[in-house]
Amino acid sequence: MTPLVDIQNLSKSFPGVKALDGVRFDLMPGEVHALMGENGAGKSTLMKILAGVYRKDSGQMMLDGKAVEIDSPAHAQALAIGIIHQELHLMGHLTAAQNIYLGREPRRMAGLFLDEEQLNRDAQALFDRMHLALAPTTPIGELTVARQQMVEIAKALSHKSRVLIMDEPTAALNNAEIDDLFRIIRQLKSEGVGIVYISHKMDEIQRIADRITVMRDGAYIATVPATTPMPEVIAMMVGRKLEQAEKTIPDTSANEVLLDVRGLNRGRAIRDVSFTVRRGEILGFAGLMGAGRTEVARAVFGADPIESGEVHVRGQHIRLTSPQDAVQAGIGYLSEDRKHFGLATGMDVESNITLPSLKRWLKWGIFLNQPAIRTISQQMVEKLRIKTPSLTQTAKLLSGGNQQKVVIAKWLVQDCEVLIFDEPTRGIDVGAKSEIYKLLNELAAQGRAIIVISSELPEVLQLSHRVLVMCEGRITGEVRGDEATQENLMALATQREAEAPAAVH
């Protein structure tokens, strides 16, 4: 069978970075081919070249056995190559349907008028096929990131692509949405579409992929069947042995309570939530997406108003009207939505890491201690393995995962005693994950209080000294870190409120 795509010896450099060095990759019709590698390995760059976003420096690309030069995204589209980018590209003020058919809207009356009805009907048909309950006329700006992602997928489907590239499509999806996506992928496979699937989630790869190609530092490492044991694949990805962090749970029961949250309420999102975290403790928050964990974090951080409840830090009742208040009181929050709340994309790596905590680097209250800033930034870059040609690289030029690491670094160097990390390792490669776990443990050992919200149960289990589980805005249970299992956490995460008892007369 002739491959749909056959890439040989492809190279691409950016200033200061050899992003791809003689890479090869092929895709068969009806195949899901996973592309794996650490953050900055070159996965997105390779696929952007196939999708006409970047031009290659050298190498060959063949489609259906014929050499091609793909010189623009429009050209790639014409060749039936579709891509769902790692970063969302939707226009907030347009509706879902308008986004999907942007620039190729159906027209009527000899092309004079936009046929909005047809547009919405077409979009509805796509959503139906995806089992997506979404009105085509909803403005994109009003959708959650997960639903925006689904619209991106609908858009790619609408192009009738024969090659479909998905760059971390599930980063913001919940399990049900992932199941829907996989159902769509299987259907496309049966229609002969070739799919390139990029993800850092091993379990997904094993469920959906046929073959895996591993890249490391811009180089091609190997192509193996997806049945290959994951430890082998990971070893190829990281090129070194990963040490499994030992989990020890310190006794913090006598330590000072740093954060004391009492009776927090907001509508149905947060219902009578109370908890404490002590110095040295890592408190995990488990639950399904939408359980209310992020809502609680945002309320404690002063990002959303509350209807009732109190937050005490070191025994002191604090008034939270804004995140500034929270940071002032020593509470830091790494948001799950880094794109909007975390990264100054136009600033360089060093400024992103150190600007928010600049006060720390003042000498005699006036001079900035530039060497100290350099040193701490450099340390963070090394510890988190942030792949960047220099500290002065503009943040937006880093790979997706490395941008996230920069935001994490920013909170790690802040002098906050209470740190809340919301989905800290989403989009982060396996190697860097274990580094982040180590750093969180160090911070706790230094006497800070750490809260980790994560949808990945293995992560909660690995990190937490104690786990709180939420469902429908309430805390449904608490489990000690050494007694927590996937099973008991899941049971609590799905403990919906009992039906209201019938009124007794």
Per CB under 6 A, residues contacting ligand ATP are 14, 17, 19, 37, 39-45, 86, 387, 397-402
Q: How far is CA 378 from CA 389, 404, 434, in A?
A: 12, 16, 19
| Partner in contact with 3, chosen from Mg ion, ligand ATP, none, beta carbon below 5 to 8 Å by kind | none
* Contact of residue 19 among Mg ion, ligand ATP, none (CB under 5-8 Å per partner type): ligand ATP
Instruction: Report the nearest approach of ligand ATP to the CB of residue 388 (Å).
Output: 6
- Tokens representing 268 are 């149905």
Nearer to Mg ion, 234 or 453 (CB): 234
Nearer to ligand ATP, 45 or 99 (CB): 45
Dihedral, 452, 458, 462, 465 alpha carbons, nearest 10 = 50
Query: What token pair was written down for 209?
Result: 């992929």
Which among Mg ion, ligand ATP, none contacts residue 40 (Cβ within 5 to 8 A by kind)?
A: ligand ATP
- Nearest distance from C-beta of residue 27 to Mg ion, angstroms: 18
Identify which of 55, 38, 45, 48 has the alpha carbon closest to the alpha carbon of residue 20.
45
Nearer to Mg ion, 16 or 250 (CB): 16
Query: Is 44 an interacting residue with respect to Mg ion (CB under 5 A)?
Result: yes
User: Residue 413 belongs to what H/E stretch?
Assistant: helix 400-413
Minimum CB–partner distance for residue 378 and ligand ATP (Å): 17
- Establish if 98 lies at the interface with Mg ion (CB under 5 A): no
Q: Which amino acid is at 320?
A: L
Q: Among 386, 425, 346, 426, which residue's Cα sits nearest to residue 17? A: 386
Cβ closest to ligand ATP, residue 390 vs residue 485: 390
Q: Please identify, using beta-carbon distances, which residue of 46 and 489 lies nearer to Mg ion.
A: 46
Q: Which is nearer to ligand ATP, 230 or 397 (CB)?
A: 397
For residues 373 and 350, the answer to whether their CB atoms sit within 8 Å is yes
Residue 428 · residue 436 · CB < 8 Å: yes
User: Rule CB under 5 A: is residue 40 a binding residue for Mg ion?
Assistant: no
Residue closer to Mg ion (CB basis): 166 or 288: 166
Contacting Mg ion within 67-96 (CB under 5 A): 86
Cβ contacts of residue 332 below 8 Å, gap of 6+? 326, 411, 414, 416, 418, 419, 420
Residue 464, binding choice from ligand ATP, Mg ion, none, Cβ under 5 to 8 Å by partner class = none
Site stretch for Mg ion (CB under 5 A), options 39-47, 288-296, 299-307, 442-450:
39-47
Q: How far apart are CA 123 and CA 93, in angstroms?
A: 17
Q: Does 400 bind Mg ion (CB under 5 A)?
A: yes
> Taking the complex as a whole, how short is the minimal distance between the CB of residue 180 and Mg ion, in angstroms?
23
Measured between its terminal Cα atoms, the distance across the chain in Å is 75
Q: Which is nearer to ligand ATP, 44 or 464 (CB)?
A: 44
- Six-digit token string for 49: 């070249």
Gap between the Cα atoms of 223 and 203, Å rounded: 18
Binding flag, residue 45, Mg ion (CB under 5 A): no
Q: How far is the CB of 45 from ligand ATP (least distance, A)?
A: 3
Q: Which one-letter amino acid corresponds to residue 73?
A: P
Partner interacting with residue 357 (select from ligand ATP, Mg ion, none; CB below 5-8 Å by kind): none
Question: Which of these ranges, 4-12, 14-22, 41-49, 201-209, lies near Mg ion under the rule CB under 5 A?
Answer: 41-49
Minimum Å gap between C-beta 357 and Mg ion is 28
Residue closer to ligand ATP (CB basis): 44 or 455: 44
481 binding partner (options ligand ATP, Mg ion, none; Cβ < 5 to 8 Å by kind)? none
Q: Which long-range contacts (CB under 8 A, 24 or more apart) does 355-359 make?
A: 356/327, 356/410, 356/414, 357/410, 357/413, 357/414, 357/415
Nearest distance, CB of residue 44 and Mg ion, angstroms? 3
The entry of Mg ion, ligand ATP, none near residue 120 (CB within 5 to 8 angstroms by kind) is none
Say if CB 457 and CB 286 are below 8 A apart: yes
What count of residues does the chain have?
505
Minimal CA–CA distance to 127: which of 138, 136, 139? Answer: 136
CB 268 within 8 A of CB 457: no
CB nearer to ligand ATP: give 41 or 436.
41
Please give the Cα distance from 68 to 227 (Å, whole number).
32
The order of strands in the sheet holding 5-14 is 17-27, 5-14, 58-63, 66-67
37 touches, from Mg ion, ligand ATP, none (C-beta below 5 to 8 Å by class) = ligand ATP
Closest to ligand ATP by CB, 43 vs 279, is: 43
- Residue of 88, 77, 79, 75 whose CA lies nearest to 153: 88
Task: Report in angstroms how near the CB of residue 171 gets to ligand ATP at its nearest.
Answer: 10
Residue 43 CB, nearest approach to Mg ion (Å)? 5
Q: By Cβ distance, which residue is nearest to ligand ATP?
A: 401
Of 13, 12, 17, nearest to 393 (Cα)?
Answer: 17
Measured distance CA(230)–CA(203) in Å, rounded = 9
Q: How many whole angstroms separate alpha carbon 164 and alpha carbon 160?
A: 9
Residues at the site binding Mg ion, with contacts judged by CB under 5 A: 44, 86, 399-400
